[in-house]
Amino acid sequence: MHLVVQRNAPLSDDDAARIGALFQALDGRRIQGGGLRYTLAAGAPVHRAAIHELGRQQGLDTALIDDFRPLSDFKLMVFDMDSTLINIECIDELADLVGRKREVARLTEQAMQSGAVDYDTSLRMRTRLLAGLPVATFESLYAERVRITPGAPALIAAARQAGLRTAIVSGGFDYFTGRVRAELGLDVDLSNHLEVADGRLTGELLGTLINADAKAGHVARMCRELGVPTSDAIVVGDGANDLKMMALAGLSVGYRPKPVVRATVNAVIDRLGLDSLLNVLGAADREGFSLPS
């Protein structure tokens, strides 16, 4: 088992030795981007939750990798959108336009943090609070409040160059996923559709609701279409409704993840941009030098 650690400041040899001792590593090497790669003792119990939590306490982004695979070895890269590819939860910001942001944000947090609140019921409760909102407000909201996550353009460009199919699979709304897909050059976006009447939201959703099961189903379907196992997919998300599609992936990545996600994913990105995942994928590179023991 290998551990990759990164942070947004250089890691000295003293840092490397201290971190290696902290994680009881057998050895360490420097990797692209200034991070470090360690080998953990064979047969030692490796608890993702404990390692990611220890990394968080030390100000490190962490990744646990069984076998290093280059980016080109994967065939599909799937992203959640809200709080993953973009900086906001769109439904919360839409609710702000009708004076219901606090109420909707509370329901969003309950659904994303633990999954204890039924996601389908929660989503329908939230969208009904948006009834009457003019769809004409979507454009200004996107322009004024949506910001692409740092590193997302570089990661997606690298994935496309490596031949991967790229997709957004989101419980958000298709107006926003479509805009983000076009802006970042992804291949496809799959998300929920809000019903509109006379230019205003009715508060209802049309079609199949994109929940955790639907997300996993879309990942599985895209892999079948590509003729590859789901282990050839990379999935990036942050909340409880991403867990099922993450469980299918060969590499699961939590971007500023909720605790329930942090405990299960291969890689956690808290401090760096999404493109720092490229350093993890390239960590098998042996051009770096060994660290002093």
Q: How far apart are CA 256 and CA 82, in angstroms?
A: 12
Q: Exposure pattern of 45-72 as b/e (b: 16+ CB <10 Å)?
A: eeebeebbbebeeeebbbbbbeeebebe
Q: How far apart are CA 49 and CA 64, in angstroms?
A: 11
Q: How far apart are CA 130 and CA 276, in angstroms?
A: 36
Residue 36 three-state SS: strand
What are the residues whose beta carbons fall under 8 Å from the beta carbon of 15, sequence distance 6 or more?
A: none
Residue 198 three-state SS: coil
Active-site pick, 82, 232, 242, 270: 82
Q: Which has the closest alpha carbon to 75: 200, 230, 180?
A: 230
Q: How far apart are CA 73 and CA 228, in angstroms?
A: 11
- 92 belongs to the catalytic site: no
**Letter for the amino acid at 114?**
S
Active-site pick, 61, 80, 238, 242: 80
Q: How far apart are CA 15 and CA 178, in angstroms?
A: 43
- How far from the centroid of its chain's Cα atoms is residue 37's Cα? 22
With tokens 């360490």, the residue in question is 28
Q: Are residues 28 and 35 in contact, defined by beta-carbon separation less than 8 angstroms?
A: no
- 80 belongs to the catalytic site: yes
What are the residues whose beta carbons fall under 8 Å from the beta carbon of 96, sequence distance 6 or more?
A: none
With tokens 């991403």, the residue in question is 242
Residues labelled as active-site residues? 80, 82
